[in-house]
Structure 1
Amino acid sequence: MSAASDQEHELQDEPEEYHWPIPPAGGWTADDLDRIPGLPPHTELIDGGLVFMSPQTRFHSRTMRLLDNVLLEQAPDHLDVDREMTVKLDSRNRPEPDIVVFSTKAVTGPNQTWYAPEDIVLAVEVVSPDSLTRDREVKPRKYAQAGVPYFWRVEQDGSTGLPVVHTFELDPAIKAYSPTGVFHDRLKTSRPFDIDIDLTAVDRRRA
């Protein structure tokens, strides 16, 4: 094989360079999120900017699994539960809560990629090291302004490694959340429906 052929073969074997999307004037819109090619999984839109997810930790994955399974088991028939589905808050914001509890009337079909905020009953964010500010400040503020009635923020206990759940309820008069509890080991509440979660089961194969 000639040197030219060798060089051509090597070039064919090299992975194609990825070109990051260039935002339009004014930033991306919520609808753009379904049209931009080659985005990494679980890309969010915050204030017109794309936010990419870092690699998921075992704590994050296990916590989502626990909450997803138990909430799905305990939710009343008119509500359903999904992991990592975006919520189109407005034209410039389409975050992706880790868990959403939503009205079954919001389902339009298997290719659906987002829900409207008025269909969301509870949004849950499991905090990661790279999302501290977004999960503690930015996202809850936006969920509240959009009228999502309940919000949970889940943190990892530094001494036990177990999830700690901070629960919030919307004050519609000021469109801001009020804290309603901090739960270690066990989360038991009647809002938005009767919920009882053994948080120590996060590492068990069956809760």
Structure 2
Amino acid sequence: MRALTIPLPSGETWTRADYEALPEDLPVRVGLVHGELVLKPRRRPIHQRIARRLATRVEEAAPAAWQVDTDVDVLLDDDEVEPVEIAPDIVVYSCDHDPYERPISADLVALVAEVVSPSTKRKDRRMHPALYAEAGIRHYWRVETSQTAPAFAIYTYELDDATGRYVATGVQHDRITGTLPFDLDIELKAVREP
């Protein structure tokens, strides 16, 4: 087993250049939040399964102008001193972004979704939605599983232009319908079944 070597940041905080210089084959998942390198927990198979199934159904509904991917970097804040770049579980973004390039600029993102895990509850319920709202991402979904809540549910939110914060638009258990930049009607039984 080879030793893990992470280069030190060039200054007191991590810049985007420092973050982008990290090797792609790191054995840990990382993000960049206000200039701090954040280690992320490894995901459980059920978490990945739910994210993959939901992303597949959203992708099936998406017209050609939209792309849907899982666990891809989104640049939320390009601040020189305290940049923010993290990878939501599901990202719906414009085809104007080249899928061979990273990160995806937040202004091209229509929806981000997070599947809540026991180790990510606080981030997915509080911290990440605030970061996504600050970046102007119009829609946020929080997927609660039987590991984190009494029943499977998708909590949907839309950005309120007046406050710059998310407002709840519903709690979905069996079917999710709505309009992003495109219409959705997804039966959730196949997403939530183990």
Classify the TM-score, shorter chain: 0.7 to 0.9
Contact 2:58 2:184 in 1 (8 A): yes
> Structure 1 residues 162, 80: closer, same or farther in 2, change over 3 A?
farther
User: How far has the Cα of 1:203 moved from its partner?
Assistant: 6.0
Q: How does 1:61-76 map to 2 (within 5 A)?
A: 61-76=48-63
Matched, 1:90 2:80: no
How does the TM-score come out when normalised to structure 2? 0.86
- Aligned residue for 1:50? 37
Return 5+ residue gaps in structure 2 as ranges.
none
Tell me which amino acid in the other structure corresponds to 1:94: E
**Distance of 1:188 and 1:139 partners within structure 2:** 23
Over the aligned positions, Cα root-mean-square deviation in angstroms equals 2.3
Matched, 1:99 2:90: yes
Tell me which amino acid in the other structure corresponds to 1:50: L
**Distance of 2:17 and 2:58 partners within structure 1:** 29
Return 5+ residue gaps in structure 1 as ranges.
1-14
As a proportion of its length, which structure holds more helix? 1
**Distance of 2:147 and 2:116 partners within structure 1:** 13
As a proportion of its length, which structure holds more strand? 2
- Aligned residue for 2:8? 22
Larger radius of gyration: 1
Residue by residue, what CA displacement relative to the aligned partner does 1:176-201 show, whole Å, maximum 9, x if unpaired? 10000011122122334221222210
Residue by residue, what CA displacement relative to the aligned partner does 1:74-107 show, whole Å, maximum 9, x if unpaired? 0122111111111111231001011111111122
Contact 2:124 2:142 in 1 (8 A): yes
Percent identity of equivalent pairs: 35
How does the TM-score come out when normalised to structure 1? 0.81
User: How far has the Cα of 1:202 moved from its partner?
Assistant: 2.4
Question: Which 10-residue stretch deviates more, 177-186 or 45-54?
Answer: 45-54
